[in-house]
Amino acid sequence: MLANIGAVMAAHKQNVILTRVRSLTTPRMDGEKLAYDFGRLDRWVETFDKAGIPTIEGGHLLDRVSGYQTPLRVPAWVIEDGRIVDRKLEPADPRAETLLDSFTSALYAHLKERGWTKRYLQHIHDEPHGDERPDYNRFAKVIRRNLPGVPILDAVSLDQDLGFFADVADIWVPVLGSFDTQMEKIHQHAESGGQSWFYTCIYPQGRHLNRFIDLPLVKTRLLHWLNFRYGFTGFLHWGGNYWSAEPFANVQPIINDGTTLLPAGDNAIVYPWPERYSVLSSIRLEAMREGIEEYELLVALAQRDPGKAQKIAREAIPQFTDYVRDVGAFRRLQARLLSE
């Protein structure tokens, strides 16, 4: 099943697979200490490798009690009464940093042994905010120390002070619509050797681009023209396959402990296909693939004539909320790009 899903992803130019490294690790006792078996992680990576997905995106190592507004926790295996149990530890628990240090050190040693450190990325915590920021920074430094050379990426709001984030994250992933007036920060990050991707999640709405079901498909396709236009180097999907109990009938599940109704299609861009042990593409994912191919064409043109590539991209997207909406006009831009 995973191989089939990987093949669909690769065919649509998805080159990164979210990999929940803790879920794919089996803890065991080594005398009176913890040790870690990464056999299932290896099988996962090898499966997607064969399918054509080159980049391993390590899942978040920090968590919350439950929803977005609940307190931060540090997932860890602990030994209690001679047994291994999985706990969510409070940040102040002295075991939290020790156990995170133990796990990430072992993970890096395994990645290095397999020759995967150059293709591995690591998340720390999803959308750190508010009073989570000091704890995020503290634990991020442990993870960064133990995964030397591994790029750290996380979703973050550029509307907040980035002091807790900037020195521990290599790849910034802000939500589209939050950085219309913040591009100077992103350019400075790039000049210092960093990258920026972007994502959509519930927002933006209104005049911005997005990939909701009820939007014109040109909006979805242009997401990757925006990538080129503004110097971003990736798009992070929320969500890929966060299905409701009725994936085809209910495309607006409720999340965040029952407090947030998602816009149509925000939750998923593929659908389950159990008869084939696979997933079905969507019209939106097809538009996404075409947009990625046009991003590749813009990059190829920029290698020969960067001014001409940027001119075409600027005509397609003059500003974040000002872009070509007429399909005929878009096709003429596309024809020029193909001709060049």
- Burial bucket for residue 251 (CB in 10 Å: 0-12, 13-18, 19+): buried
User: How crowded is residue 72: how many other Cβ atoms within 10 Å of its Cβ?
Assistant: 22
Distance CA 19, CA 45 (A): 8
pLDDT for 41 equals 98
Compute mean pLDDT per 10 residues along the chain, 340 residues long, and list them. Answer: 98 97 97 95 98 97 94 97 96 97 98 98 96 96 98 92 91 96 95 96 96 97 98 96 96 91 97 98 98 98 98 98 97 98
CATH classification number, 2-304, choose in 1.10.3470, 3.30.1450, 2.60.40, 3.20.20? 3.20.20
Cα separation, 247 vs 253, in Å, equals: 9
Q: pLDDT value at position 209?
A: 98
What stretch of H or E contains 35?
Answer: strand 33-37
Helix axes 327-339, 306-316, angle to 10 degrees: 170
- 288 contact partners, CB below 8 Å, separation of at least 6: 12, 211, 220, 221, 223, 224, 269
Instruction: Tell me if the bond preceding 6 is cis, omega within 30° of 0.
Output: no
pLDDT at 52: 97
Backbone angles phi, psi at 254, to 5 degrees: -105, 130
Domain ranges of the chain: 2-304
Residue 160 is predicted with a pLDDT of 83
The pair of structure tokens assigned to 130 is 């508010």
Report how far apart, in Å, the C-alpha atoms of 261 and of each of 28, 45, 203, 219, 296 are: 40, 33, 12, 22, 35
Q: What percent of the chain has pLDDT over 90?
A: 96
94 contact partners, CB below 8 Å, separation of at least 6: none
What residues pair up with 26 in beta bridges, in sequence order?
37
